[in-house]
């Protein structure tokens, strides 16, 4: 399986369980890798036979910048579902980073990583 990846998408969102997170918002960072077979696209140099990563980036931005959720697990699932809605995508790995999470001790990052595939 070939992989098309987007790394470091930075989007402002209003997700979290605390009122402050919902009101003020924060930057979320998304990494994703989509598994697909790119041979047909490569053979014909045909964008319609692969996944358009620019469109995927815009869709991810709309999800993260859209309706607030409590959990980054929910956010990751919504992103995975959207990626799998593209016909060419067979599987996806999504990591959502929450570097500004309300944690009371020094930390670098909080992440959730999920893998999903077509059944």
Q: What's the pTM?
A: 0.96
User: Structure tokens of 28?
Assistant: 């979320």
Q: Which residues pair with 96 in a beta bridge?
A: 30, 112
User: Structure tokens of 36?
Assistant: 């697909």
Span 80-106, average pLDDT: 97
User: Structure tokens of 11?
Assistant: 């989007």
23 is catalytic: no
pLDDT band, residue 68 (cuts 50/70/90): very high
* CATH number of the domain bearing residue 54: 3.30.1130.10
Q: Where are the beta strands (DSSP E) in the chain?
A: 2-13, 26-36, 91-97, 111-117
Domain containing 92 equals: 2-117
> Would you state the pLDDT for residue 19?
95
- The chain-wide mean pLDDT, for the chain, equals 97
Over residues 39-56, the pLDDT tens digits come to 999 999 999 999 999 999
Count up the domains in the chain and report the number. 1
CA distance 48 to 92: 19
> Would you state the pLDDT for residue 119?
74
CA distance 2 to 12: 30
pLDDT band, residue 37 (cuts 50/70/90): very high
């Amino acid at each position: 399986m070939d992989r098309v990846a987007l790394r470091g998408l930075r989007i402002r969102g209003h997700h979290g369980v605390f009122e402050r997170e919902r009101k003020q918002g924060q930057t979320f960072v998304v990494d994703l890798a989509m598994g697909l077979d790119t041979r047909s696209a490569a053979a014909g140099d045909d964008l319609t036979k692969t996944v358009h990563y620019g469109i995927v980036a815009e869709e991810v931005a709309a999800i993260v910048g859209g309706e607030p959720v409590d959990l980054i697990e929910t956010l990751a699932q919504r992103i995975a579902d959207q990626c799998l809605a593209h016909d060419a995508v067979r599987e996806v790995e999504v990591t959502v980073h929450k570097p500004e999470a309300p944690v009371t001790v020094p930390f670098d990052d909080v992440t959730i990583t999920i893998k999903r595939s077509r059944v």
